């Protein structure tokens, strides 16, 4: 679904390009974790949010964030960054590409991605377009900038672990 605003049970999600709202694609994502009893647990909400790189240029700044709450750095995973927190009675998380890690692993004396994640805003992530995305077309896995968003009702340790896992 293409939209400029996505309403969750706890906040609205927006993506801004140079301070102005833009359209983004949001789709359900099927992922979860196995628990100690071998049962499979998925969060109440899990989506992948993508921004098409064809509409981005060097110098653009993107901000993907919820309109309320505070999410803190949760360490991330392999080639991923993530932030997790509570908003109302929900445990909420967001994950995105660890651009520094990707560039160090695959860059070979140069840049592998045309963008850099500059950090989290407390409600999401700020991404800077550093180079012309057109020059990176052959890298099929990096044709879009993506974010995972997830939530689970409740604020238990188990909810935090689940949201942390699926966003990293």
- Give the pLDDT score at 141: 61
Evaluate whether 48 touches 95 at the Cβ level (below 8 Å). no
Residues 6+ apart with CB under 8 A from 82: 73, 74, 75, 76, 93, 94, 95, 96, 148, 164, 167, 168
Evaluate whether 82 touches 155 at the Cβ level (below 8 Å). no
| 130-167: pLDDT as tens digits | 998 888 777 666 667 999 999 999 999 999 999 999 99
- Give the pLDDT score at 95: 98
On average, the pLDDT of the chain sits at 92
- Give the pLDDT score at 107: 66
| 21-55: pLDDT as tens digits | 999 999 999 888 877 788 888 999 999 999 988 88
How far apart (Å, rounded) are the C-alpha atoms in residues 115 and 126? 10
In the chain, how many domains are there? Answer: 1
Structure tokens at 75: 């360490």
Closest CA to 125 of 137, 116, 133, 138: 116
- Give the pLDDT score at 76: 92
| Average pLDDT score over residue span 108-136 | 89
Residue 64's domain spans which residues? Answer: 2-167
| Average pLDDT score over residue span 6-17 | 98
């Amino acid at each position: 679904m293409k939209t400029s605003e996505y309403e969750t049970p706890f906040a609205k999600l927006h993506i801004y390009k140079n301070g102005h709202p833009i359209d983004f694609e949001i789709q359900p994502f099927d992922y979860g974790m196995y628990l100690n009893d071998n049962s499979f647990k998925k969060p109440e909400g899990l989506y992948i949010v993508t921004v098409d790189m064809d509409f981005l240029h060097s110098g653009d700044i993107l901000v993907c964030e919820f309109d309320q709450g505070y999410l803190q750095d949760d360490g991330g995973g392999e080639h991923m960054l993530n932030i997790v927190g509570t908003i109302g009675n929900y445990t909420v998380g967001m994950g995105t590409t660890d651009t520094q890690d990707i560039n160090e692993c695959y860059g070979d004396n140069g840049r592998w991605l045309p963008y850099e994640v500059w950090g989290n805003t407390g409600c999401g992530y700020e991404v800077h377009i550093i180079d012309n995305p057109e020059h990176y077309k052959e890298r099929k896995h990096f044709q879009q900038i993506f974010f995972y968003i997830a939530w689970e009702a409740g604020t238990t340790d188990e909810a935090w672990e689940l949201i942390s896992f699926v966003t990293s």
